[in-house]
Amino acid sequence: MTEVPLREPAFLILTALADQPQHGYGVIEEVRRISDGQVRLQAGTLYAVLDRLREAGLIEVDREEVVQSRLRRYYKLTGLGARRLAEETVRLRRNVTVAGQRLRKLGLSGGAA
């Protein structure tokens, strides 16, 4: 059975964690950078997705530290998470290629609306 495609927030969170372990706010900021400001995760959304990714074994807690009396938890990509991100990247790239080919037939480039 084929895996369900990742939703955009999950894909971007895995992408953010592929670089290095990050804490929640760091993930939010990295997703904003990766998406060129198009995706701005709210804390509630972030932690719900992080919980689902942990349950699926795609990420894990790297470490915890206390900063200004608050617990800061760092997350990292697991080997399974890296493979899942790679698979999803291939799937998305394939879709982009097909869309680009069809747009060119219409005389449009991939970025034109």
Cα–Cα distance for residue pair 60/22, rounded to 1 Å: 11
What is the CATH number that goes with domain 8-102?
1.10.10.10
What pLDDT does residue 20 have? 97
112 pLDDT above the threshold of 70: no
Q: How does the average pLDDT of the chain come out, rounded?
A: 93
What pLDDT does residue 103 have? 93
DSSP string of 4-34, one letter each residue: PPPPHHHHHHHHHHHHS-EEHHHHHHHHHHH
What pLDDT does residue 36 have? 97
Q: What would you measure as the largest C-alpha separation in the chain, in angstroms?
A: 59
Task: Return the percentage of the chain with pLDDT > 90, whole number.
Answer: 88
Q: Which residue has the higher pLDDT, 112 or 73?
A: 73
1 pLDDT above the threshold of 90: no
> Whole-prediction pTM value?
0.89
